[in-house]
Amino acid sequence: METFIQQIVNGLVMGSMYALIALGYTMVYGILSLINFAHGEVVMIGAMVTITCINLVSSIAPGLPGSLVFTAGLLMAIPITMVLGFSIERIAYRPLRKAPRLTPLITAIGVSITLQQVAMLIWGRSPRSFPAIFGEDAPHKLFNLDVSITNIQITIIVLAILLMAGLLIMVEKTKLGRAMRATSQNPEVAGLMGVNINTIISMTFVLGSALGAVAGALYAANYSRADAYIGFMIGLKAFTAAVLGGIGNLAGAVLGGIALGLIESVGAGYIGPLTNGFLGSHYQDIFAFAVLILVLVFRPSGLLGERVAERA
């Protein structure tokens, strides 16, 4: 039982990070119907820049409390990824808005490869370790059981919930959110109603990238390392999560992220005993895709997605 609760906790932590990144994918998709394949690399850049900034801050002002240093580093990393997200859209996607759908997908892959290589040029190939600013991140015991959770893990869950709630409120209640929804429904009519579509699309990329930076920073802090390769796999998983929840749907992305985290964690923990050793945790990465395929076969537009007509 304790093992099971621990697996749930693990899954929630992982799932919160997937959810934060999935939001970036789903926002862009909702508005442009485009898979922003480069989003995973934005997350990676966010993680790497945070590490660099934290090192910078702690060398300028040593002795500051860890949470302050982390916040400072994060606040420096967010604008950088925002600019990055903005430029990606301007350079690689905007000129192709009327092109066949495959074309921006290829530029997205191109951007992804380019960002990864640029990161290698800047930070090298070997992993960067996250500075030990939090001292010893001693685990707490949950409910007096033998279930551990650390401060960083608690931070991840809490921060993810706050940011996701903030985003949902923004989209539902503010003027910008209304404009975003309008653009996603019908860009032309939204344009006629006085919405500047280009600004809205840029804002979407900027917001998504900011969330990506937060996710990247939390990832680096949780695993105490980051390298130029992390963006790809985590981006892929988060995209899977977004599709699982119903791409284009914000609540769906959150649900999909958490669900994927739980599936992976519980799946990896129990598949061995369940299949009597035939399958093991080496199939952990398959769960994400297998569940995705199953969900899409039975609900082709994801868990919370609305049914849409096939677009020619």
Partner 1 sequence: MSSFDSMKQSRTGALVGFALMAVALVLLPVLFGKGLGNTWVRNLDFAMLYIMLALGLNIVVGYAGLLDLGYIAFYAVGAYLYALLNSPHLVPLLQGTGLEWILGPSIWIVIPLAALVAGSFGVMLGSPTLKLRGDYLAIVTLGFGEIIRIFMNNLNHPVNLTNGPRGITLIEPITLFGHSLGKPLHLFGLEIPPLYQYYYLFLALTMFIVFVSIRLQDSRIGRAWVAIREDEIAANAMGINTRNVKLLAFAMGASFGGVAGCLFSSLQGFISPESFGLMESIIVLSMVVLGGMGHIPGVILGAVILVFVPEALRDVINPLQNALIDRKIISGKIIDPEVVRMLMFGLALIFVMLLRPEGLWPSKRRRAELHPKTDDIARQEKDSVADAERNHD
Partner 2 sequence: MTLARYSLIASAVLALAACGQQQNTEQPKQDPNAAKPAADAKPADAGGEAVVKIGHAAPLTGNIAHLGKDNENGARLAIDELNAKGVEIGGKKVKFELLSEDDQGDPKTATTVAQRFVDAKVAGVVGHLNSGTTIPAAKIYSDAGIPQISPSATNPDYTKQGFKTAFRVIANDIAQGKALGDFAVDNLKAKKIAIIDDRTAYGQGLADEFEKAAKGKGAEIVKREFTNNQATDFMAILTSIKGAKPDVVFYGGMDAQAGPMAKQMKKLGIAAKLLGGDGFQSGEFIKLAGDAAEGQFASQPGLAKDKMPGYADFNTKYKAKFNTDIQIYAPYTYDATMLMVEAMKKANSTDSKVYLPELAKIEYSGVTGPVKFDEKGDVVGGTVTVYQVKGGKWEVMASVGGAAAPAAAAPAEAKPAEAKKEEKKQ
**Which stretch of DSSP H or E encloses residue 149?**
strand 148-149
Beta-carbon contacts of 72 under 8 Å, excluding residues fewer than 6 positions away, are 53, 54, 57, 64
Q: Which stretch binds partner 1 (CB under 8 A): 64-72, 167-175, 185-193, 263-271?
A: 185-193
* 154 counts as binding partner 1 under rule CB under 8 A: no
Tokens of 203: 């804002």
The dihedral of CA 178, 180, 185, 188: what is its sign? positive
Question: Among partner 2, partner 1, none, what binds residue 223 when CB lies within 5 to 8 Å by partner kind?
Answer: partner 2
**Choice between 33 and 129, CB closer to partner 1:** 33
* 106 counts as binding partner 1 under rule CB under 8 A: yes
- SS3 string, 79-144, reads HHHHHHHHHHHHHHHHHHCCCCCHHHHHHHHHHHHHHHHHHHHHHCCCCEECCCCCCCCCCEEHHH
**Choice between 65 and 280, CB closer to partner 1:** 280
State the residues that interact with partner 2 by CB under 8 A.
Answer: 2-3, 6-7, 10-11, 13-14, 125-127, 129, 132, 136-137, 139, 146, 148, 150, 219, 223-225, 227, 229-230, 233, 264-270, 272, 280-282, 284-285
* 192 counts as binding partner 1 under rule CB under 8 A: no
CB of 59 to partner 1, least distance (A): 21
Please answer whether residues 302 and 244 qualify as being in contact, where contact means their C-beta atoms are separated by less than 8 angstroms: yes
**Choice between 107 and 265, CB closer to partner 2:** 265
**Choice between 101 and 282, CB closer to partner 2:** 282
